[in-house]
Each structure stands twice: as structure tokens, then as C-alpha cells.
């Protein structure tokens, strides 16, 4: 029997790196994909260069993984970026700088899902997407929040189309996580560790094949619902 394969995008740091490490500990062969990766393939771990904003790059990654390791069982579409925005003032990034965030955060998971689904249907696998608690409520002037609203809708659309294929779809929606993307204004707020989110991902994918965990909302103790 072939060993199960777990692909993580945005795996160079934060949630992606933590989840990849936990998946390896759980016995998976792990593909750690990121824009900055230096290509390196071992028996159980693979650092793979991939830009999720490029359909060709994502499609090539999934093809290479299935060709080399014979299957793909879990894909964690985690890669994302954040910039501060405002629709009424010059605060934050200029509108010309917003495009990369929108393409990475919305097209990236969509491209990842489309590229991975054929392999996941063959294995009866699991697609996990990183959403955000910020995608469940109004955040004034926050385009990042809107991209995470999109991920909730994307997960639901994929799940609806995947009915009957055996593929499970989960969106994980973390609150504030202790990464280098935290704005200075929230430095003192309660935070999750990246490993906290990784454990939520492993919980979802470890359920019996008859159980589809649709959504996981996870916040640090003490975080207000509107933050």
C-alpha cells in the first residue's frame, strides 16, 4: 500500500510550516510548497517551488507529485498574503498593490483546488482551505477580509460540486495567529500559535471517510468576535 501524501501550499512559514511538520509526525509523506522553496526531494519530504497565483505552476506541482509519489491524499490550500487597505483614505497600501493579494488569496486556492481535484477524486482525498475569522464579519475598509469571505464561498461551491466523488472539503477559519503578518496595532492581542491551527487541520483530515468536517472556526481565548 502506498503511503499517503499531504501537500501544503504556503509552507515556508507560519500555519503552513506548522501543519506540514504535524502531518509528517502523523506519518504522511509531505510536500512543502512555496514561492521561496529551494527544490529538494527526499523519501518522505519534498520542498517544492510553486506560485499559487499561476495556474501553470500549481498544475505542474500536482502533476509532479502524483507522478513521483503515486497519489495525493490531502491538499491544504493555505498560501496567502495580507496588506492593509482603505477605501476612503490613503492609509495602507496603494490600490495598485492590492492585486497580488486578491489573486493569491482567491485565485490561488481556486487554482489549487482545480489542479488537485482529479488526484483527490482518485484517492478519495481531502481538500482543506485556509479562511479566516475575518471572513465571517465586517472589517471596515479591509479587502483582506473580503478575500477570506470569498474562501468560505469557494469551499461551499467546491463541496457542492464534489458530492458523490468521495472528496471531503474543509475550510479552517483562524482568528489572530502569531505570525509575521500581525499588524502592529494588534501586537498585544491574544494569539493562536501556528501549531494550534495545524492541529485543527489534522483533526479534520483524521476523521473517518464518512465524516466531512465542513468548517472549523478557531480563535485564541479572549479574542473578541469582531476582531
Which residues are catalytically annotated?
Answer: 144
Are 76 and 68 contacting, i.e. CB atoms less than 8 angstroms apart?
no
Q: How far from the centroid of its chain's Cα atoms is residue 114's Cα?
A: 14
Cα gap 183→199, rounded to integer Å: 24
Phi then psi for residue 57, to 5 deg, are -65, -45
Q: Which of 42, 48, 116, 35 is nearest to 81 (CA)?
A: 35
Q: Which cell numbers in the block locate residue 41?
A: 526531494
Burial 112-143 (b: 16+ CB within 10 A, else e): bbebbbebbeebebbbbbbbbbbbbeebeebb
Amino acid at each position: 500500500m502506498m503511503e499517503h501524501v499531504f501537500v501544503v501550499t504556503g509552507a515556508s512559514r507560519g500555519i503552513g510550516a506548522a501543519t506540514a511538520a504535524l502531518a509528517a509526525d502523523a506519518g504522511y509523506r509531505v510536500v512543502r510548497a512555496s514561492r521561496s522553496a529551494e527544490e529538494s526531494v527526499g523519501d518522505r519530504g519534498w520542498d517544492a517551488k510553486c506560485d499559487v497565483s499561476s495556474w501553470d505552476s500549481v498544475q505542474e506541482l500536482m502533476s509532479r507529485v502524483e507522478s513521483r509519489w503515486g497519489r495525493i491524499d490531502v491538499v491544504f490550500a493555505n498560501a496567502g498574503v495580507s496588506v492593509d487597505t482603505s477605501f476612503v483614505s490613503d492609509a495602507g497600501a496603494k490600490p495598485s498593490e492590492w492585486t497580488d493579494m486578491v489573486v493569491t488569496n482567491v485565485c490561488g486556492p481556486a487554482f489549487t483546488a482545480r489542479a488537485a481535484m482529479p488526484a483527490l477524486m482518485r484517492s478519495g482525498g481531502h481538500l482543506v482551505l485556509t479562511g479566516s475569522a475575518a471572513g465571517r464579519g465586517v472589517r471596515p475598509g479591509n479587502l483582506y477580509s473580503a478575500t477570506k469571505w470569498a474562501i468560505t464561498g469557494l469551499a461551499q461551491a467546491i463541496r457542492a460540486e464534489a458530492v458523490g466523488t468521495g472528496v471531503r472539503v474543509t475550510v479552517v477559519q483562524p482568528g489572530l495567529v502569531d505570525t509575521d503578518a500581525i499588524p502592529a496595532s494588534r501586537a498585544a492581542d491574544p494569539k493562536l500559535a501556528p501549531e494550534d491551527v495545524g492541529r485543527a487541520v489534522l483533526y479534520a483530515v483524521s476523521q473517518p471517510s464518512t465524516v466531512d468536517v465542513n468548517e472549523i472556526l478557531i480563535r485564541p481565548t479572549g479574542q473578541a468576535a469582531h476582531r
